[in-house]
Structure 1
Amino acid sequence: MRPPVAPPGWSRWLVPPAALSVHLSIGQAYAWSVFKPPLESALNLSGTQSALPFQLGIVMLGLSAAFGGTLVERNGPRWAMSVALVCFSSGFLLSALGAATEQYWLIVLGYGFVGGIGLGIGYISPVSTLIKWFPDRPGMATGIAIMGFGGGALIASPWSAQMLDSFGSDSDGIALAFLVHGLVYAVFMTLGVVLIRVPGKKSPPEARETAQTVTPTGPQVSAKQAIRTPQFWCLWLVLCLNVTAGIGILEKAAPMITDFFKDSSTPVTASAAAGFVALLSAANMAGRIGWSSTSDLIGRKNVYRLYLGVGALMYLLIALYGDASKPLFVICALVILSFYGGGFATAPAYLKDLFGTYQVGAIHGRLLTAWSLAGVLGPLIVNWVSDSQESAGKHGSSLYGLSFIIMIGLLVVGFVANELIRPVHARHHVPTPREPADDTADRDHQQPA
């Protein structure tokens, strides 16, 4: 599919809404915790088992982004958004069949494997296009779009909870909720497919700086060469550990806040827990645009120092005092999730600073394999510790103390890795942006631009 080139008079400000329509849809993944208690009850699952669809989805997100990054660069954002639409919606339809027939493996296959491919391709689909349209403000541009992924649960969490209340929280009700999700998201994602464009030579005056799309300046590194640099792997480790720390809370958010205050005078209800998930989604979303825009002003390394250093402090406060104060617990969790979202949104701009715009989409796809590992590690740490502590007779906040200490250690390691990142040596640069160093060349550069 040939990438659609923007005609004369096309506004670059139409590109972020196109990206948002996809990211707001696939961001439903962050509302998975709303489905955990009903699935555990209806299908007799443990907390670790009910996390499998989410974990596999994140694994497939990273893998499909890594292996599909080259195809996204070759075929353009419209092709990528179309593939994401088909896979993500089909995943929900398979999950609906699995819930209706009480075949949990179908839910894991549909939501986790098929839907996860849609997550990965959809996530990276607009990134390189946005950076080309907004070379002057890459952090802001990618933050606008990627905030949709963080904000998807802001819509999906209360919506899912309401559907489960209306349809019932048994297997049939869950199946119907999955079905509605699949159909509605297919319609919404179509908006992005129709609207997306790549910049052309006759782009409007406000986007003339996108001439850099044709003749990029600064360091330009191919995707193949980028993964041979220590900078890539330091940033990979930074992203992996920051995501692990955030996703551990996010995947188990609803049951976690319920457990923390189960013995208080005002326990947390199911609807309040769903509201907490929505708040976390709002913080995740706000962090993506807020912190990524801040990175344009203070630099990528400095903002990652904030994510990792202050994030560790927030975890320490929850571990020590979280069960004594609901406001403290909620505020610390919101800050952690804002850093979690900010880390994702800042990563493409960090890559652009280090490796240039030449094949930034393909490099970003490879970087997201860090998310695959973190998507397993975060929920595994929190759920495994929680299950083992419960088996030992503990309850409430005691189920999570050890996992929070582990997260603090991971964030400290990530902080050190960020300090080790330096500019990429000139020997890794491609000779010119029109002489591809490998077979992952950005075909968008060969389109009319």
Structure 2
Amino acid sequence: MEGIAPPDAIIDAAGGFWQELDQIARTMLLPSRLNQVLAVLVMILAAHLLARLLSPRLRLWLRRREGWAKWRLRLGLVIDRRLRLILFSAMAWIVVLVMREVTWPSLSHVIRLAATIATAVLFIAFASRLIVNPLMRRIAKWAAWIWAVLYLLDLTPAAAQLMDSIAISIGSFRLSALTVLQALAVMTALLAGARLLTGVLTRRLADTADLSPTMRVLTAKILQVALFTLAVVIGLKAIGLDLTGLAVFSGAVGVGLGFGLQKVVSNLVSGVIILLDKSVKPGDVISLGDTFGWIDALGARYVSVVTRDGKEFLIPNEDLVTSQVVNWSHTNNFVRLDVHFGTAYGDDPHKVSKVAINAAMTVKRVLAQRTPVCWITGFGDSSVDYVLRFWISDAQGGLTNVRGQVFLALWDAFKEHDISIPFPQREVRVLGDEDGATPPKFIAGD
């Protein structure tokens, strides 16, 4: 039988829930408990005023905490946002403990209930920070708050009956609002746990020296996909969904999506190929077209490349597989750079080569264990041409800046040893007859 639950069942369940809620409200408003309700309101007002006094000082104190880890600063901000609730919980529990010692426990029942609810809400607010996704965190937080309040007020049976009455039936399969909420709660908890566990495993893998960087990333991605898939499957099983039919349906849908998402699938497959063949890895310095930088992270769809000017390029994995990529640190970190210059014909080339090599050695980033070399490359019109070759091991620090430092070192060394750097000179002569009849001619020459 297919259809939606009859309205009478929903109305009866809603009526039962309202009766339970009305009974709790009448109990709270009994003359013997009005004083407790008033005490709760007074403590709420006191917590509000005290929080307004302490919050600016707490924020100022946090601003002065230089060098603190980000998680500690975030925790301080969360405490500042929940300061009213923290103060109210503390005051309420103190009042409950004092009243239990000096009077009957029943005379502090309302205050204890308010303190318990406030503490539960506070605990959920802090625990929800473990969920990274903001939307998922907000949904989980509010759902947990509602459930905690209903549980502490002993309203969960009536609320569960009301949510279960809102349902649809498809054949033998019945889907109620309660089942959906339970599935969402299970999946949210499992996804949050999977994300947290993945983060912990990724940090552990990063400290494992036996694995290469690419294998660390690949292992982390496989664990992440496996844990997330397990969370979704368990959530679907929680609502009683038959996964056999879903597998057939997803296979048909997958074929259609494969044609429409060829680029996405290609990037995903290319990402796996990159991780397996270890052609690039985090920390490598690469050049792809006009982009030069080091790999910051390997993603499932793209590679993050950070340049020297702080720009972050998200390059699709397919481009790294199909295009020509220069990996400056694939086998090792050594990179050879060339600097071209020229000196006058009157300068001794043996002296020039020696001075140039010594000048390059004064630059910190030039490797001393790989001695620079200087060779004559030709005899130009105005100068003897040289090439100075040297090695560096930190290409991620930039190439233009180290070349500039070497040029400055050459300038200073040549000036100190009276080695001149020539430049082309031109002169213009004006030719004409003595009587000025013939128009002048301009001849350019060296």
Give the TM-score normalised by the residue count of structure 1: 0.21
Higher RCO (CA-CA < 8 Å; seq separation 6+) = 1
Give the TM-score normalised by the residue count of structure 2: 0.22
Looking at secondary structure, tell me which structure has more helix per residue.
1
Q: Which structure has the larger Rg?
A: 2
